[in-house]
């Protein structure tokens, strides 16, 4: 799991470096997954929406 934007960028750079170093000509069959941990972001946004307090803002809490 990736917990920060800085780490996400480092992971992307490492992944792309690996693809370049692989020497593969056809990358269409290469697969991967990276999980970005968003619950901290969700919690922060929910608090901001609660401060806004409008029905529209409150309706957005907990949604992706």
pLDDT tens sequence across 12-55: 999 999 999 999 999 998 988 877 677 777 888 999 999 999 99
| Whether residue 64 has pLDDT greater than 80 | no
Q: What is the pLDDT of residue 54?
A: 97
The SS3 assignment for 46 reads helix
Instruction: Return the structure tokens found at 3.
Output: 């917990």
Task: Give dist(CA 32, CA 30) in Å, integer.
Answer: 7
Residue whose C-alpha is closest to residue 38's, from 64, 9, 7, 6: 64
Q: What is the pLDDT of residue 2?
A: 72
């Amino acid at each position: 799991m990736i917990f920060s934007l800085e780490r996400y960028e480092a992971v992307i750079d490492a992944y792309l470096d690996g693809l370049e170093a692989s020497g593969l000509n056809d990358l269409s069959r290469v697969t991967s997954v990276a999980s970005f941990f968003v619950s901290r972001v969700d919690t922060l946004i929910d608090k901001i929406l609660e401060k806004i307090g409008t029905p529209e803002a409150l309706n957005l809490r907990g949604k992706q």
